[in-house]
Chain A
Amino acid sequence: MGSSRILILIAQRIAMGVLLLFAVSALIFAGTQILPGDVAQSILGQAATPQALANLREELGLNDPAIVRYFRWLGGVLTGDLGTALSNGRDIASSLEDRLGNTLFLAAIAAIVSVPLAILLGLLAVRYRNGAIDKIISGLALASTSLPEFFIGYVLMLFFAVKLQWFPSVSTVYDTMSFVEKLRAVALPATALTFVVLAHMMRMTRAAILNVMQSAYIETAELKGLSPFQIIRRHAFPNAVAPIVNVVMLNLAYLVVGVVVIEVIFVYPGLGQYLVDHVTKRDVPVVQAVGLIFAAVYIGLNMIADIVAILANPRLRNPR
């Protein structure tokens, strides 16, 4: 009974996510159609003859209405064909593979460091509520929402790469590098990313735990004489998991976006740098493809956050 209801809720949430993804793909496509100029014009430049433009438009199928082109693009995306880049004529999907891997590697390292650290610090802040640690944490949170990513990035680079020379200032990675070499290369960008999300994640974790600790059932558990350990294990933790996982997922989604600027700072060969390069070159097919990937990861993480919240909610597990 209970499990089937959870399954229905989860199925609904996934269906919503898929629907949203289609709507977002339409929005991204529409976002690149708001100007009268087209791809043929960008390939051939301003000096192109009308005849050459007409031929190329015919060849690329640009004479079809936007809606037909959208579904053709979407069909390609769904079958793994992202089209070819205008700037160098290469297949987009194959150029993306390595970069997507690099970006996920960087984001994963940052997540492995920042998630446990944020939860630990969030717990400390609750334990020493309104004390010095708590004040420092809210101060850091204020600073981190105000600091631009490149300030953190270049400060780290100036001290740890240039002055102390512990790490390389440019984070080049390639296939033949060993895992340890790769770690050394991404140390600085991963640290910068950690700073970008850490304080926010701490503050939200703090709020989530504090919310649970102030519930009436915690007081009841205290009054009936349970030990603090038992209170945390039996009553506080199960109720705090959902909000904490939610916080973590939301911040990971934030981290994925933060990657764009950090990659440019450290010249890291990932998806973000690829996107920025091709926005500058006005290479629309690449921008559409990479934009869609970023949006998909972002929506996916938000969806996972909701699903975990459904799974971890004891009220839904044992419905009355």
Chain B
Amino acid sequence: MLDIRQIPIGALLGLIITTLLVLSAILAPLIAPYGIGQIVGGVWEPATSEHWLGTDNLGRDLLTRMIYGGRITIFIAALATALSFILGSVLGFTAAVVGGWFDTIMSRLVDLLMSIPTLIFGLVVLSVLPSSTLTLILVMGILDSTRVYRLARAVAVDINVMDFVEAAKLRGEGRAWIIFREILPNALSPLVAELGLRFIFAVLFLSALSFLGLGVQPPESDWGGMVRENKEGIVFGIPAALIPAGAIAALSISVNLVADWVLNRTSDLKGGRGNA
């Protein structure tokens, strides 16, 4: 069905890099050459055969930190994306099916939340909330669910007027059945295509917050936090901060390439034929 030779080269590359990064995140304790907080050399030593990426601002092995940092970045971004998807699509489907005042209130509320830039409102809320991983996931997930809500509602409104949904309603199915058994399976493909883009957004948002010192708190650090730790080196011509920044870029470009391909594939399938 899915022939590997049919995947365009860009998407294949994206798929490989994404898989490698995710695998290294999962297997972090097994493949990391040193301990996460272990000081193994001088400050900002250049790359050697023992330390492939050199050492960081405290003399810790940069490769080890990268592997563990990726774990935190991917973990938090994935959970936030999952939250935003569950929240956004359930509310969006419900709004489309129930309609009336629920739809009006939810949609206006989402419009209002979206009229403030996400980063700005995130900063406002984080100024009073305790800094913890749970807070980060909740704030990122809830703010981003507004985008998913819009898409889910728009898709569900179309599906809701189709004959098979009408039939289900006439045979007396409840709302939960309509939402999860009739609408959800048919709305899945546009939502899955959106999933990749929301994940990238979560990675970039988390990295920006951590870079600003408001995301993951030390001693833990994600890639954004590692850029922050090593940024002073730039002024001395030491590019250590660019390594985590580049990893964020690599992850988001790869996921973007895959998402683009999935989007093209699903929109082709919608047309009824072809799997180009």
Contact = CB atoms under 8 A, between A and B. Distances in A.
Contacts of A276: 123, 212-214
Given A28-B124, A257-B119, A282-B128, A20 B112 contact: yes
Contacts of B128: 31-35, 37, 282, 284
A269 to B, nearest CB: 16
A278 B127 CA distance: 8
B235 A162 contact: yes
Interface residues of A, number: 52
Given A24-B112, A28-B121, A295-B117, A264 B242 contact: no
A154 B125 contact: no
Contacts of B123: 260, 275-276, 279, 287, 291
B63 to A, nearest CB: 19
Nearest to A32: B128
Given A35-B128, A37-B128, A287-B123, A148 B204 contact: yes
A136 interface: no
B64 interface: no
Interface size class of B (residues with CB under 8 A): 35 or more
A63 to B, nearest CB: 19
Interface stretch (A101-109, A139-147, A237-245): A139-147
Interface in B91-124: 112-113, 115-117, 119-121, 123-124
Q: Which of A143, A158, A161, A299 has its CB near the most chain B CB atoms (within 10 A)?
A: A158
A224 interface: no
Contacts of B124: 28, 31-32, 279, 287-288, 291
Interface string B200-216: 10001001100111100
Contacts of A299: 115
Given A162-B234, A162-B235, A291-B121, A145 B112 contact: no
B237 interface: yes
A280 interface: yes
B235 to A, nearest CB: 5
Contacts of A143: 249, 253
Contacts of A44: none
A298 B117 contact: yes
Q: Is the interface of A mostly helix, strand, loop or mixed?
A: helix
Interface string B240-276: 0110011011001100110010000000000000000
Contact of A149 (B117, B208, B214): B208
A142 B255 CA distance: 11
B120 A295 contact: yes
A292 B224 CA distance: 26
A294 interface: yes
A114 interface: no
Contacts of B249: 143, 146-148, 151
A162 B117 contact: no
Contacts of B127: 32, 278-279, 282-284, 287
Given A151-B249, A158-B239, A27 B129 contact: no
Given A162-B236, A280-B214, A282-B127, A261 B208 contact: yes
A174 to B, nearest CB: 20
A169 B120 contact: no
Contacts of B227: 150, 154
B242 A261 contact: no
A158 B119 contact: no
B248 to A, nearest CB: 5
A275 B214 CA distance: 12
Nearest to A37: B128
B135 to A, nearest CB: 10
Contacts of B245: 148, 150-151, 154
Given A31-B121, A34-B128, A279-B127, 13 more contacts: A24-B112, A145-B256, A146-B200, A147-B252, A150-B245, A151-B246, A157-B234, A260-B120, A261-B211, A276-B123, A276-B212, A276-B214, A295-B117
Of all A-B residue pairs in the complex, the 7 with the closest CB atoms, nearest first, are A146-B252, A151-B245, A257-B117, A287-B127, A291-B124, A146-B253, A279-B127
8 contacts: A27-B112, A32-B124, A143-B253, A154-B245, A161-B235, A264-B211, A282-B127, A287-B127
Interface of A: 20, 23-24, 27-28, 31-35, 37, 142-143, 145-151, 154-155, 157-158, 161-163, 169-170, 253, 256-257, 260-261, 264-265, 275-276, 278-280, 282-284, 287-288, 291, 294-295, 298-299, 302
Interface of B: 112-113, 115-117, 119-121, 123-129, 200, 204, 207-208, 211-214, 224, 227, 231, 234-237, 239, 241-242, 245-246, 248-249, 252-253, 256-257, 260
